[in-house]
Amino acid sequence: MADATTAAAELLLAARRDPAKKLVDLPAALKPADRAAAYAIQRQVAASFSAIGGWKVSPFGADTPPMCGALPASGVLPGPAKLSSKTHAMRGIEAEISVRIGRDLPPRATPYSRDEVIAAIAAMHPAIEVLESRFVESSGLDVATSLADSQGHGGFVYGAAVTAWQGIDLAREQVEQFVDGAVTASRTGHPAGDLVGQVVWMANEGSVWAGGLKAGQFVTCGSWTGAQRVGPAAVIRVVFSSVGEVALTFTA
């Protein structure tokens, strides 16, 4: 198992370093059989990061916990940001709301309460997650393989901090996503239903292997608008009604 985990991680790392080495799929013998195997691969890939700058976390499923992925600190950028289409060939974008952790939440025997996690959140930020797979085409991948590749994470752009975030009603929050000046998606209400609950899960389970959530890290809590692929010179602007806005431009 360990050898297969390492071999799979090495293939994903090679594709990160050189887009010409993108994969059609992992070889059958290296494909993760379940979430535990997928996380083992993901952790080996994350060990190559200079630091973990944040986490992406999915909503709770009907009968399953969220899934998460570590974000390399090198790809966490303040907006307005520019990214090269030469290194971001897929250019998937998702409008998201993230939180920034204000103090460390290291692993401990007693789970952190919701109130403790809320007290550790320094601010809320509008964000754009950039999707960039290590596979030629990610849409047909099985869940475990996608999870091993941090669910196709390719970059993270954040807007200005909102420190009075506890007064925002996310059930009524509205977002519009603009691409080249035109609205391409909009929504009212956080799709996961419980953003804080996702962060609590990250503190108590998702980030434990990496030493827990740490001050300065972001936790971004899922797409409000769904994934959209954009052109090589696209200008993206995401505007939330209370959380603010963030912008990203791809350069050809």
pLDDT (tens digit, 9 = 90+) per residue, 196-221?
999 999 999 999 999 999 999 999 99
Angstrom distance (rounded) from CA 233 to CA 208: 39
What pLDDT, in 10s, does the model give residues 14-71?
Answer: 999 988 899 999 999 999 999 999 999 999 999 999 999 999 999 887 788 899 999 9
Indicate the average pLDDT of the chain: 95
Q: With cut-offs at 50, 70 and 90, classify the pLDDT of residue 2.
A: low
Backbone angles phi, psi at 212, to 5 degrees: 85, 180
Q: Is the per-residue pLDDT at 118 higher than 60?
A: yes
For 98, 215, 218, the CA distances from 161, given in Å and listed in that order, are 10, 15, 11
The size of the chain, in residues, is 252
1 has pLDDT over 60: no
- The model's confidence at residue 88, banded by pLDDT at 50, 70 and 90, is very high
**3-state class (DSSP) for residue 242:** coil
Q: For residue 180, is pLDDT > 70?
A: yes
- For residue 156, the model assigns a pLDDT of 98
Q: Which residues contact 205 (CB under 8 A, 6 or more apart)?
A: 65
Residue pLDDT, tens place only, 140-170 = 889 999 999 999 999 999 999 999 999 999 9
Q: What is the mean pLDDT of residues 118-125?
A: 98
Judge contact between 179 and 95, C-beta under 8 A.
Answer: no
User: pLDDT category, 191, cuts 50, 70, 90?
Assistant: confident
